[in-house]
Amino acid sequence: MVAITEDDIRSLASFRGEDAPVTSVYLDVDGGRHVRFQDVVRSAELLLRGALQKHDGHPSVTADLQRVQEFVRGGIDRSHTRGLALFSCSAHAFWRVVELPVAVRDQVVVNHTPYVRQLEVVVDEYERFGLLLADKQRARVFVYELGEVIESTELLEPLPRGDDVDRSYRRDQVQNHETALVHQHLRHAADVAFQVFQDRGFERLIIGAPEEIANELRSLLHPYLQERVEARCSISVGATVDEIRQAALTVEAEVMRRKEAELVSRLRDAVGVGRLGVAGLDETLKALVERRVETLLVSHGYTHPGWRCPSCDHVCRVGRTCPVCQSEMHGVDDVVEEAVEDAINQSCDVEICVGNADLDVLGGIGAILRY
């Protein structure tokens, strides 16, 4: 499976259905929730039937929904795929399938552009990160991307057992010898981690090591890695791959929530002093139209109908006449999604915040501004 990147989403989001709308379908195919494949097919059929009724009559959309249905019936390899994102615009022969190793929410959106918000959430949540686990004689380095291990390396440097040591050694000499060996091992572990970083690259590093060696290990890391250390965890170096994956994803989620909270608090302060921050749908859309947005923050699940001008691309909450060029605007089901797309196209950072009550209080949407 090739992981989808921010660039892929940008390129997807830039497609425009000129002659017909784009049908975007997200399907939860997770084996935990849908044990039998037949259950996946049935729930997809229900979802697509509902969409067909809602958009009845548009030949391109009807063809899109049929194609998705056929794709699902054709079978899905669910060993690594837990979510599917499908984008179709039959009138333009446009068709993209994105297999995701993480779950998505069932959803069908018909719009003039691909609906990329759930993809954005996934990529946003699961950046590539490294995990370095160590004890006094063993070290393991993993790199995760979208919840999957893409690299794993191991280092084993056994310490001499007590009975191997010459009896004539004094206890403190043995102790010193062991300390030196552990130091050397941690240095090697740090080197291995740096090698993996150079080969694969990752944004953040999580360290799991017993208290007595954790600080030493950290101090031995290359400066590039030191500045990427995001968290410590209590995963033991001998844990199973599955345990490690679960624990790593939990730490990763905590790190994301913390980052989101920091951004929201920055936004709240900026809004509070009335400088470099806006909150609420109207103000945020205005800032986007003016291209002043640095980071767009949106509460996961927040939607609102609105309008988009076909001539000048203006987006706003209230229609129908465009306040900029006086053209008649098109109604859109979700102007929040339009805002996310515009932000992506303007190369702003987009943060979809999950369960952040402070952002909800600010109106579910806001932006940190460049000027």
Q: Check: CB of residue 236 under 8 Å from CB of residue 208.
A: yes
Nearer to Zn ion, 214 or 312 (CB): 312
Binding letters toward Zn ion, positions 294-333, x by CB under 5 A: ---------------x-xx-x-------x-xx-x------
Angle between helix axes 117-125 and 335-345 (nearest 10 degrees) is 60
Min. distance of Cβ 308 from Zn ion in angstroms? Answer: 9
Please report how close the Cβ of residue 302 comes to Zn ion at its closest, in angstroms.
25
Q: How far is the CB of 110 from Zn ion (least distance, A)?
A: 22
Is the CB of 147 or the CB of 319 nearer to Zn ion?
319
Instruction: Please report how close the Cβ of residue 327 comes to Zn ion at its closest, in angstroms.
Output: 5
Q: Tokens 């945020």, residue?
A: 284
Nearby residues of 331 by Cβ (< 8 Å), 6 or more positions away = 305, 306, 307, 319, 320
Shorter beta-carbon distance to Zn ion: residue 8 or 313: 313
Least distance CB 336 / Zn ion (angstroms):
19
Q: Is 286 in the site for Zn ion (CB under 5 A)?
A: no
In angstroms, give the least distance from the CB of 326 to Zn ion: 7
Collect all residues with Cβ–Cβ distance below 8 Å to 282 and sequence separation of at least 6. Answer: 316, 317
Residues that contact Zn ion, how many (by CB under 5 A) = 8
- Subset of residues 202 to 221 that bind Zn ion, contact rule: CB under 5 A: none
CB of 312 to Zn ion, least distance (A): 3
Between 272 and 331, CB nearer to Zn ion: 331
The span from the CA of 270 to the CA of 262, in Å, is 12
325 vs 361, beta carbon nearer Zn ion = 325
Q: Which is nearer to Zn ion, 10 or 112 (CB)?
A: 112
| Residue among 153 and 327 whose Cβ is closer to Zn ion | 327
Residue 145: Cβ within 10 Å count: 18
CB of 310 to Zn ion, least distance (A): 8
Residue with Cβ nearer Zn ion (264 or 315): 315
Binding residues (CB under 5 A) for Zn ion: these are 309, 311-312, 314, 322, 324-325, 327
